[in-house]
Structure 1
Amino acid sequence: MDVKQIAANFPFLKKKGQAKGLTALALVDGGVALAHVSSGKKSALTVCEFIETPSPFTDIKLLRDRIDALGLTGSQTVGVLDQGAYQLLLVDAPDVPDEEMADALRWRVKDLVGFDIENSTIDYIELPEDAYRGRSRMVYAVVAEKSQTERLASWIEELGLAPAVVDIPELALLNITKKLADEEAGLVLFHLGSPSSSVSLLSQEAMYFTRTLSYDVQHADLNPHQSASSAVLELQRSLDYYESQVGKSPCVKLLVLPIQVGETALMTELRSNLPLEVQSLDLVDVVTAEKALNVETQQRCLLAVAAACRSLLTSQGSTAK
């Protein structure tokens, strides 16, 4: 899987940006997360903030004015799709050249998606050669309705930005975590979201497995211990599958994202019931930022920061095979 990620095959208008670097936008509960990573020898996170608005797609002036005040107007921008706006499907790769893969996958997954395949945008994530013990070539097909991707791109353009790519959370997070999985022993990423969360398993800087979990971070507080117990069961099933079917060595570390404060019910349950070192990701440890990143900002802006950091991987010529 090339670090250009899925977004490269979801192309939109590419305009010459004014701000050097990459801007990213992610819709989160109650508003919009905005991040910008500058380019150059001393690349850094120069903007990271949450803009509160109940109606991001109609409150254009508020967002545009803030973007302009930050000097980001015209910059190349990544838009992060909501989890509910696409489907991620594990399938056998069609026996076709790479340049024909997306078209071939369209027919392979047409009966597996809940919308019209003819009006969909398709990309894929190729798994490493040793995944599934090398028995067959597997890929994750990523399928999104064109109406969703086009709406996101049009909105970005309305805000005075230059829509460059559309990304998904699972891949955006690799920008800031894959370097942490540089050994054979696996790393588990547990991304807390709403209405669902996700787990991704990495080894040697590559993603081997990912799936959606039913854990809803917004509803977890209603019954924290029960929710945490359910999350542990789902994670354990994923770990078992990773070893028995994907054929990888056991994972040794679990990273919870975004940052967690104190010994929450979830963190306690994870540490007590999983044979892993459990930690929470502090963006300060993986991103150079011009301003301090407090907990609330990290929790709201994680995906935007991760998406904006893809420019660092591209500029370094990194790849994830």
Structure 2
Amino acid sequence: MGDAELHLNVIQKKSGSYQWVKQHSLPMQDWVKHLQEYVTQNNLARTPCHVALGLNKYQLFQIDRPEVEEQEVAQAIQWQVKEQLTSNDEHVFDYYDHPAAIGGKEKVNVVAISRPQVISIIKGISQADLKLSTITIEELATSELLAASDDAVLSLFQEKGGQINLNILKQGKLFFSRRLKGYENLASFSLEEFQMGMGDTLSVEIQRSMDYFESQLRQAPVRHIVVHLNTPIQAQLAELIKELTFMPVSIMDLPLTPNEPSPTVSLASLGAALTDIEINSEAGQ
């Protein structure tokens, strides 16, 4: 669910295996009406639905884990981040534990979403006759697309017209995440333009992230970089990133093959749709 478009991906189990049967985009303006029509036209009533929010629809903070009883953590985190919120709306908060201590302290990642927005999503999904299962965020949704590995992997994922989402994952856990601004128009840049400074800037951001992962999180070095960027010259950019970082770089293989190929894929939407699916057994189908 982005600023301008609502991206849909439909996964269906057929003959014992999962298939990526549909992908489609709807305008966010009057999105409930458009979604109702799509659900009716494609016989999707009462289908379980996972919603992934785009980067601009929530705030994400990392804080020290409150030293309270487990059942009190959800309440305690609110007071630590409220002053950092950029909106005066009432917010809904949730959190997930960071897999590694930093400076000897346990951390949690806190997600803050506007309550009116959450209510709008819940009502809209219900009106479209879908069964809302989860609301997740882009960092976690895209993490669903990579198979768990004992070696650390750095991913560079980008939605159409969005920031680059840099994640570092290990053993299926999200250790590090940051948003890289300034690449929203990447699709319009030629290779030559990218080589005139933007590539160097990106490689510096990658190196800083890997250094933090090793030194502050005390983890073994990243072994591989995976990219899926919004650009028609992705292969050339992957090769350039490889040259600049001295790291193996590959273009991401999507875990399923779509029945209806599309030039652009919403990774957050696809990752959300795969929330309850074991990717390892499905990769490459």
Superposition TM-score tier, normalisation by shorter sequence: 0.7 to 0.9
1:235 counterpart SS class: helix
The unaligned stretches of length 5 or more in structure 1 are 1-25, 317-321
Which residue, 247, 250, 254 being the options, matches 1:276?
Answer: 247
| Alignment-derived partner of residue 124 in structure 2 | 155
Task: Compute the TM-score of the two structures, normalised by the length of structure 2.
Answer: 0.85
- 1:210 equivalent in structure 2: 177
Scaled by the length of structure 1, the TM-score of the pair is 0.76
The CA distance in 2 between the partners of 1:115 and 1:60, in whole Å, is: 24
Q: Which residue of 2 aligns with 1:132?
A: 102
Q: In structure 2, what is the equivalent of residue 309 of structure 1?
A: 274
**Equivalent residue, structure 2, for 1:7:** none
- Specify the alignment match of 2:19 in structure 1: 45
For these two proteins, the number of residue pairs brought into alignment is: 275
C-alpha separation between the residues in 1 aligned to 2:96 and 2:37? 36
2:39 counterpart of 1:72? no
Which AA in structure 2 matches 1:303?
Answer: A
C-alpha offsets along residues 128-158 of structure 1, whole Å, 9 cap, x if unaligned? 2x4437x110111111111222222222223
Taking structure 1 as reference, are residues 263 and 75 closer, same or farther at Cα in structure 2, changes over 3 Å only?
closer
RMSD between aligned residues? 2.7
Q: In the alignment, residue 267 of structure 2 is paired with which amino acid?
A: L
- Tell me: CA distance 1:217–1:281, structure 2 relative to 1, closer, same or farther (3 Å): farther
The superposition leaves residues 175-229 of structure 1 with CA deviations (integer Å, 9 ceiling, x where unpaired) of 221x2x421x310011123342211111122111111111424345244333333
Match of 1:249 in 2: 220
Question: Residue 66 of structure 1: CA displacement?
Answer: 2.2
Deviation at 1:99, TM superposition (A): 2.1
The answer to whether structure 1 residue 145 and structure 2 residue 119 are counterparts is no
User: What is the deviation of 1:231?
Assistant: 1.8
Write the distance in 2 (CA, Å) between the matches of 1:62 and 1:205. 35
Write the letter of the residue equivalent to 1:310: T
Q: Say whether residues 1:196 and 2:163 are aligned partners.
A: yes
2:200 corresponds to 1:229: yes
Unaligned runs of 5+ in 2: none
Q: Is the 8 A contact 2:26 2:35 kept in 1?
A: no
Distance 2:245 2:171 in 1: 22
Q: Secondary structure of the residue that 2:265 maps to in structure 1?
A: helix
- Counterpart residue number, 1:11: none
Which of 128, 131, 139 is residue 170 of structure 1 equivalent to?
139
In the alignment, is the contact (CA less than 8 A) between 1:196 and 1:214 conserved in 2? yes
Query: Taking every aligned residue pair, what percent have the same amino acid on both sides?
Result: 21
The answer to whether residue 4 in structure 2 is matched with residue 34 in structure 1 is no
* Counterpart secondary structure, 1:300: coil
Distance of 2:74 and 2:49 partners within structure 1: 24
What SS does the aligned partner of 1:229 have?
helix
Q: Note closer, same or farther for the CA distance 1:62–1:123 as it changes in structure 2 (3 Å cut).
A: closer
Residue 187 of structure 1 corresponds to: 153
Cα drift, residue 41 of structure 1:
7.8
2-structure distance, mates of 1:209, 1:148: 26
Distance 1:142 1:33 in 2: 21
